[in-house]
């Protein structure tokens, strides 16, 4: 049986939320902080997500920033009032990493890389006394309330006066977040909403021709429109990628929460694609009505609509042949091509997940109401946000709050 340690804070999960909880706990006066993770190194998902350019946060005004969170933006807004986008940039600067605002308003490190930032962060945490324990798989609690871990095939018990769970959701389980914590908390009477894919792609069911020849092809620029349950037409412009089974990419992710919910409700959902968002509909129709002469339809679409490659393939995939002979119908299809989405891709492929520990199950300090001294932070809580720095900022904010609250509890006791 472990010796009781009235000073130790244990953080389970070494992603951004967990690491921030460790930092915040130390800053709030904690004397002993230990971080456990089931993987062999820390913040695996953070590193992989940053390979294409680490998007730390977003520069938009706070009142707009906090509208990006679902299903209940209020609690997340409260977290962000304590650690917001400016705090995120200041934190990075404190690690020697300066940031810049991109053309889309997203904030990146100047070198766009995650690894240097993570190395500096872990080095600072170690210097300040944080103990890291990797390859430790958490099994829950024993009858005495001790934390159970398996390491190298052997079980060990750890006593803590406060615990921060930062275990992630259910996406990218190969990088650590395998959602094994869900039954462990439900057994303790904690309400956990079913995990679902968020920031995910969708299946369409392409023909073999399109799937084999155009999987991986970008569609840009393009606008996507769909009508939500209230009858509001929602339109966004950006880009996405054709996959072997459907579509994915930043434009799809931005709308994925509403599209996922529509599929749950109705079985499928139809969106409309504007393949020529920078062209006026009337002019497009006039241009397409020009004589084709000896040119092929592909050449005609290229010259008069800017449509070729994967966009042309999409038109041929969806439209009947006779539409191409009618400039009015063809122009209408280019500006509003119907596309039916069948299902979200599996949660294992998603950028993030929705669902998790119900926000009603935690107090304003993210402590579980049914388990005093146990806090939750990050993606394992029931909230979601689009990509663009929102996910990372709110995860860090949650870790900031939970770590400080855990330290306050230990110091008080």
DSSP string over 267-318: S-EEEEEES-TTS-HHHHHHHHTS--TT--HHHHHHHHH---HHHHHHHHHH
**The pairing of beta strand 147-151 with beta strand 154-158:** antiparallel
Cis peptide before 71 (omega within 30 of 0): yes
Encoded tokens for 75: 């609690």
DSSP 8-class letter at 129? T
For the entire predicted model, the pTM comes to 0.93
DSSP letter string, 351-372? SEEEEEE-GGGB-TT-BBTTST
**The pairing of beta strand 99-101 with beta strand 106-109:** antiparallel
Domain 8-196+355-412 CATH superfamily: FAD/NAD(P)-binding domain (3.50.50.60)
Taking the chain (413 residues) in runs of 10, the rounded mean pLDDT of each run is 67 98 97 97 92 93 96 95 98 97 95 96 98 98 96 96 97 93 98 97 97 97 94 95 97 96 96 97 94 88 93 96 95 98 97 97 98 98 95 98 97 85
- Residue linked to tokens 């995120």: 88
Distance CA 286, CA 371 (A): 68
User: How many secondary structure helices (H) and strands (E) does the chain include?
Assistant: 14, 20
For residue 6, the model assigns a pLDDT of 59
Residue spans of beta strands (DSSP E) within 142-227: 147-151, 154-158, 162-165, 192-198, 202-203, 218-227
Collect all residues with Cβ–Cβ distance below 8 Å to 17 and sequence separation of at least 6.
166, 377, 378, 379, 395, 396, 398, 399, 402
Domain ranges for the chain:
8-196+355-412, 202-344
For residue 1, the model assigns a pLDDT of 47
8 Å CB contact between 37 and 10: no
8 Å CB contact between 163 and 334: no
Distance CA 114, CA 56 (A): 9
In angstroms, what is the C-alpha Rg of the chain?
Answer: 24
* Cβ count near 196 (within 10 Å): 21
Q: CA separation (Å) from 98 to 47, 213, 388?
A: 18, 42, 18
Q: Which long-range contacts (CB under 8 A, 24 or more apart) does 136-144 make?
A: 136/36, 136/37, 136/38, 137/38, 138/12, 138/36, 138/38, 138/167, 138/180, 138/181, 138/184, 139/184, 140/184, 140/187, 141/188, 144/1
8 Å CB contact between 211 and 267: no
Cβ burial 242-270 (10 Å sphere, 16+ → b, else e): bbebbbbbbbbbbbbbebbbbbeeeeebe
Distance CA 172, CA 197 (A): 10
Collect all residues with Cβ–Cβ distance below 8 Å to 96 and sequence separation of at least 6.
120
Distance CA 35, CA 152 (A): 17
8 Å CB contact between 186 and 192: yes
Distance CA 260, CA 94 (A): 39
Q: CA separation (Å) from 124 to 111, 113, 294, 379?
A: 20, 18, 69, 24
For residue 144, the model assigns a pLDDT of 93
Start-to-end C-alpha separation, the chain? 22
Collect all residues with Cβ–Cβ distance below 8 Å to 104 and sequence separation of at least 6.
388
53 burial type by CB count under 10 A (0-12 exposed, 13-18 middle, 19+ buried) = middle
């Amino acid at each position: 049986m472990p010796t009781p340690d009235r000073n130790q804070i244990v953080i389970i999960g070494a992603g951004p939320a967990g690491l921030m909880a460790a930092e915040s706990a130390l800053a709030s006066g904690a004397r002993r902080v230990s971080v456990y993770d089931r993987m062999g190194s820390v913040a695996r998902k953070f590193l992989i997500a940053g390979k294409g350019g680490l998007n730390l946060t977003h520069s938009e005004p706070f009142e707009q920033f906090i509208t990006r969170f679902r299903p209940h933006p209020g609690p997340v807004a409260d977290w962000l009032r304590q650690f917001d986008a400016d705090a995120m940039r200041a934190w990075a600067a404190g690690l020697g990493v300066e940031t810049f605002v991109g053309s889309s308003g997203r904030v990146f490190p100047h070198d766009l890389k995650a690894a240097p930032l993570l190395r500096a962060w872990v080095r600072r945490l170690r210097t300040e006394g944080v103990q890291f324990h990797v390859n430790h798989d958490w099994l829950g609690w024993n009858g005495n309330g001790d934390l159970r871990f398996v390491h190298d095939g052997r079980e060990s018990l750890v006593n803590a006066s406060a615990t921060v769970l930062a275990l992630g959701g259910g996406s990218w389980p190969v990088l650590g977040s395998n959602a094994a914590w869900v039954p462990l908390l439900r057994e303790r009477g904690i309400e956990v909403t079913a995990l679902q894919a968020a920031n995910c792609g969708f299946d369409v069911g392409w023909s073999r021709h399109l799937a084999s020849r155009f999987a991986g092809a970008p569609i840009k620029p393009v606008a996507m429109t769909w009508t939500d349950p209230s009858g509001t037409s929602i339109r966004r412009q950006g880009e996405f990628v054709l996959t072997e089974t459907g579509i994915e990419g930043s434009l799809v992710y931005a709308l994925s929460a509403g599209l996922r919910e529509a599929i749950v409700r109705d079985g499928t959902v139809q969106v409309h694609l504007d393949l020529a968002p920078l062209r006026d509909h009337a002019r497009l129709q006039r241009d397409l009505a020009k004589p084709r002469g000896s040119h092929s339809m592909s050449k005609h679409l290229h010259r008069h609509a800017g449509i070729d490659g994967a966009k042309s393939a999409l038109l041929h995939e969806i439209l009947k042949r006779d539409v191409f002979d009618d400039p009015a119908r063809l122009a209408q299809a280019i500006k509003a091509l119907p596309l039916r989405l069948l299902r979200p891709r599996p949660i294992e492929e998603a950028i993030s997940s929705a669902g998790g520990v119900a926000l009603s199950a935690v107090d304003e300090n993210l402590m579980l109401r049914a388990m005093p001294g146990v806090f939750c932070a990050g993606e394992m809580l029931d909230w979601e946000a689009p990509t663009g720095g929102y996910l990372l900022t709110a995860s860090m904010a949650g870790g900031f709050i939970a770590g400080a609250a855990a330290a306050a509890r230990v110091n008080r006791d």
